[in-house]
Amino acid sequence: TKIAFVGLGKIGQTITYSSVIDGIFEEVMLYDIIPELPEKFEHELRHAFATKSIKTEIISSNNIDDIAGADIVVITAGKPRKPGMSRRDLFKDNAKIMIDLASKLPSKNPGAIYVMVTNPVDMMASVFAKYSKEMTISTGDQVETMRMRSFIAKKLHVPVNEVNGYVGGEHGEDAVVLWSTVSVKGKPIDQFNIDKEEVSNYVKQIAGEIIRVMGGTTWGPGTIIGDVIRAIALNENKLMSIATPRVFEGEIIHISVPVIVGRTIGPSIESLLDEKDKWHLTTATKDFYDVYKEMLSSLGEVT
Query: Cα dist. 277→35, 181, 201, 204 in Å?
Result: 47, 9, 17, 17
Applying CB under 6 A, does 143 fall inside the site for ligand NAD? yes
Applying CB under 6 A, does 8 fall inside the site for ligand NAD? yes
CB 128 to ligand NAD: min, Å: 12
Please pick, from the candidates 38, 78, 106, 172, the single residue that binds ligand NAD as defined by CB under 6 A.
Answer: 78
Applying CB under 6 A, does 218 fall inside the site for ligand MLT? no
Applying CB under 6 A, does 256 fall inside the site for ligand MLT? no
Q: Do 104 and 64 meet the contact criterion of CB atoms below 8 Å apart?
A: yes
Q: Which range touches ligand NAD (CB under 6 A), out of 89-97, 159-167, 228-236, 249-257?
A: 89-97
Applying CB under 6 A, does 34 fall inside the site for ligand NAD? yes
Applying CB under 6 A, does 32 fall inside the site for ligand NAD? yes
Q: Which range touches ligand NAD (CB under 6 A), out of 79-87, 151-159, 226-234, 288-296?
A: 79-87
Please pick, from the candidates 56, 60, 109, 119, the single residue that binds ligand NAD as defined by CB under 6 A.
Answer: 119
Annotated active-site residue in 157, 171, 254, 280? 171
CB 217 to ligand NAD: min, Å: 5
User: Is 171 noted as a catalytic residue in this protein?
Assistant: yes
Applying CB under 6 A, does 119 fall inside the site for ligand MLT? yes
Please pick, from the candidates 58, 60, 72, 87, the single residue that binds ligand MLT as defined by CB under 6 A.
Answer: 87
